C-alpha cells in the first residue's frame, strides 16, 4: 500500500501510526499527487488540504508527483485499488495517471465534490465523464448500496466507486447479484450467456 500525504504533520502522524501497528507493507510518500512532477502551493483548511488554490487560506509549498511517472520509475505495473480524495484536484490526478488508469487499474474510489471541483475549473459531470472515457463504470455509494450513476445528475458531494467491469446487478439478466461486502476471494469476472458483457459476479 502506498499513501500520499503532502502535509508534513499528517505524514509524520501516519508514519507513527504505521509503526505502532507494526505494519511493514505501507509506504508513506510526503508529496501531493498532481498532473506533473514538480512543486505546488498546497492550501490548508483545517484538516483538509488541496493544491487547488483557495483564497485567504494558509498555504505551504510542497513537492508534487504524477502517478504515471511515479509508478513507472518504481516498476509498478498493476494497481489493485486506487482511492482519490484531494479536495477538488481530482482532475489533475486523473490527468497525471491516465496511462495507469486506462491499463492497470480495475477499481477506483473517488470523492466527487462539485463545489471543490469548480474552484479548479471543472465540474462533477466533467470528472465522471473523464473517468468513463478511460473505461470505468460509475456507481454512487448510497445507504442502499451501490447505485449506477449517470453523468449530469445532482451536483452534490458523492463518494463514487468506479469499476472497469459492469457490476452484475447492473445487468438485469445476470443471475448472480454482487455484494461488495462479500469475501474478496469469492469475487470473479463472469462472461456467460446470461450477461451482455463481462461483469463482476458473486458466488
The pTM of this model reads 0.81
Q: Binning pLDDT at 50, 70 and 90, where does residue 146 land?
A: confident
138 is a domain residue? no
Q: What pLDDT score was predicted for residue 120?
A: 87
Question: How far is 39 from 31, CA to CA, in rounded Å?
Answer: 9
Q: Name the one residue in this structure whose C-alpha cell is 446470461.
A: 194
Place 58 in a pLDDT band, splitting at 50, 70 and 90: confident
Confidence of residue 29 (pLDDT cuts 50, 70, 90): very high
The residue among 154, 81, 94, 162 whose CA lies nearest residue 124 is: 154
Q: Flag whether pLDDT at 3 surpasses 70.
A: yes
Contact 75, 88 (CB under 8 A): no
Closest CA to 92 of 65, 113, 60: 65
Indicate whether 198 belongs to any domain: yes
pLDDT tier, 157 (very low <50, low <70, confident <90, very high otherwise) = confident
Kindly state the helix (H) or strand (E) to which residue 100 belongs, with its residue range.
helix 98-103
Grid coordinates of 202: 458473486
- Examine residue 153 and state whether it is found in any structural domain, yes or no: no
Q: How many domains does the chain have?
A: 1
- C-alpha grid cell for residue 178? 454482487
Strands (E), the chain: 2-4, 27-29, 32-34, 38-45, 48-50, 58-66, 79-84, 105-112, 137-142, 145-148, 158-163, 166-167, 187-190, 199-202
Residue 202 within a domain? yes
Residues in the chain: 203
Determine, yes or no, domain membership for 14: no
Q: Is 177 a residue whose pLDDT tops 60? A: no
> Does the residue 21 lie in any domain?
no
Whole domain around residue 174: which residue ranges? 166-203
Residue 15 lies in a domain: no
Mean pLDDT, residues 109-115 taken together: 92
On the question of pLDDT at 185 being above 60, the answer is no
Q: Considering the domain boundaries, does residue 178 fall inside one?
A: yes
Residue 152 has a pLDDT of 66
Amino acid at each position: 500500500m502506498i499513501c500520499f500525504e503532502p502535509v508534513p504533520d499528517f505524514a509524520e502522524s501516519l508514519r507513527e501510526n504505521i509503526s505502532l501497528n507494526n505494519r511493514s507493507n505501507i509506504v508513506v510518500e510526503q508529496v501531493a499527487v498532481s498532473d506533473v512532477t514538480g512543486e505546488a502551493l498546497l492550501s490548508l483548511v483545517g484538516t483538509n488540504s488541496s493544491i487547488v488554490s483557495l483564497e485567504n487560506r494558509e498555504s505551504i509549498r510542497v513537492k508534487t508527483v504524477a502517478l504515471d511517472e511515479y509508478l513507472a520509475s518504481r516498476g509498478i505495473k498493476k494497481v489493485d485499488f486506487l482511492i482519490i480524495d484531494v479536495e477538488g484536484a481530482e482532475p489533475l490526478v486523473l490527468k497525471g495517471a491516465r496511462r495507469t488508469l486506462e491499463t492497470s487499474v480495475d477499481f477506483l474510489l473517488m470523492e466527487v465534490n462539485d463545489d471543490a471541483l469548480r474552484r479548479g475549473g471543472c465540474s462533477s459531470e466533467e470528472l465522471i465523464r473523464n473517468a468513463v472515457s478511460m473505461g470505468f463504470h460509475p456507481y454512487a455509494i448510497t445507504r442502499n448500496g451501490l447505485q449506477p450513476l449517470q453523468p449530469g445528475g445532482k451536483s452534490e458531494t458523492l463518494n463514487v466507486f468506479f469499476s472497469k467491469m459492469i457490476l452484475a446487478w447492473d445487468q438485469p439478466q445476470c443471475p448472480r447479484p454482487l455484494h461488495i461486502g462479500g469475501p474478496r476471494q469469492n469475487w470473479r469476472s463472469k462472461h456467460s450467456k446470461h450477461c451482455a458483457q463481462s461483469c463482476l459476479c458473486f458466488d
